[in-house]
Structure 1
């Protein structure tokens, strides 16, 4: 099981995260909770987690300072950062210590589940309940394959649910229904989020131009890209580049 440490100064947020994710299904267990970066630092040293989920703004010590100190000590734990729009400059700092992902507050349980799943895939194959595998192997397979296809082809300007369905040799209607049922997102919304997440990384890490980021993630129209980016992140691309 992948050991997870949860660091957030709000008890309700911590409880919601612990209760809102099926950790066992992801091959994870929450081994500790901390209410400050200082406490998180101590627990990380003691518990040796493989994944740390941390807020940025906290009393005594913020999440980025905590992670930087752990990195200096040789801690290789994966990290998911929780941030509000107003904390985005802090989030940029999080990218510097190698955070795997970030979530903008407020976020849905399924968004966190997907973020954790992506990190888990880097460490080990996701376990699945045998009963579910026997009952719905085809359905689960379609969704996983669709997500993998999007990850590999999101930069294609012509990618669409029709293209994905044709690649998987299933009907658009069936793929749409199953994908939404299992992920809580439409295929189109998932594609858009994947593109904007990639653009965010390019703008913050590589400091590319806005039009370069737009083209790199499959948008011909820079104005439309900018509007979509702001709708999803609350910030314009020029504010983060």
Structure 2
């Protein structure tokens, strides 16, 4: 699971982010909170989060300065900037220090989750980057409906369930299978099962970088009961067999 640090000086906003997001479904957990840039800097060095969600305007140290100092300290966390419209131009300075994305406050339901899903996919690809590797899952640009966002989050949290499928994903979203398949393809350019398979392979590639892990163990951890079928899908999507991929990671 990915570690998330939330840095926000307004307590109700900070607690809202921590409590309103289904972090488990996104394959994440909140490792810490901070009320200003100084606390955020210290917490980031202490917890080494994968993702930092931070406001811009804060006392003691603002989000841009915090990000600048973290980069100077070698921190490679993905950073999501939260900014009011009046600070938008200032917030764009964060891109010079490698901010992953920024959201205008108040952001709408599902926007933060969408950014996190995108970052999660990118990190899975980056950590599995050796020899042949998959690009990060690139979703079609544009707003996503709440049903699609719920489905992306559900897959991130349940990809390792061998029984996950269109039926269970649609049931979680509370809509029919046919309608979900239609809007998911329209909004992401993937079918549900294509996205699930791609997501599983991104995770499998990360796991296979550990030469001690057995291929059947990786298959089980990403939701496949049949190692032969897993190997077939891996070769189809990645271009090499799991054992070949693992050998090239040594």
Name the residue aligned to 2:97: 97
Name the residue aligned to 1:35: 35
Give distance in 1, aligned partners of 2:8 and 2:168.
38
Matches within 5 A, 1:61-80: 61-80=61-80
Give distance in 1, aligned partners of 2:23 and 2:109.
12
Find runs of 4+ consecutive structure 1 residues off by over 4 angstroms: 137-144
1:148 aligned onto 2:177? no
Residue in structure 1 matching 2:156, options 100, 124, 127: 127
Q: Deviations over 1:6-27 (max 9, x none)?
A: 0000010011111121110110
Structure 1 pair 119–147 and aligned structure 2 pair: CA distance change class (3 A):
farther
Give distance in 2, aligned partners of 1:142 and 1:74.
44
Structure 1 residue 111 displacement after superposition:
1.1
Give distance in 2, aligned partners of 1:132 and 1:21.
22
Give distance in 2, aligned partners of 1:109 and 1:148.
18
Compute the RMSD of aligned alpha carbons: 2.3
Structure 1 residue 92 displacement after superposition:
1.3
List alignment gaps of at least 5 residues for structure 2: 126-154, 171-176, 192-250
Structure 1 residue 84 displacement after superposition:
0.3
Give distance in 2, aligned partners of 1:77 and 1:142.
35
Name the residue aligned to 1:20: 20
Give distance in 2, aligned partners of 1:18 and 1:63.
18
Structure 1 residue 136 displacement after superposition:
3.3
How many correspondences in the alignment?
A: 151
1:136 aligned onto 2:169? yes
1:21–1:109 contact (8 Å) kept in structure 2? no
Give the TM-score, by structure 1 length.
Answer: 0.57
1:10 aligned onto 2:10? yes
Name the residue aligned to 1:200: none
Structure 1 residue 128 displacement after superposition:
3.6
2:4–2:29 contact (8 Å) kept in structure 1? yes
Structure 1 pair 42–118 and aligned structure 2 pair: CA distance change class (3 A):
same
Give distance in 2, aligned partners of 1:99 and 1:25.
24
Matches within 5 A, 1:1-241: 1-124=1-124, 127-129=156-158, 130=161, 133=165, 134-136=167-169, 142-149=182-189
Which structure shows the bigger proportion of residues in helix conformation? 1
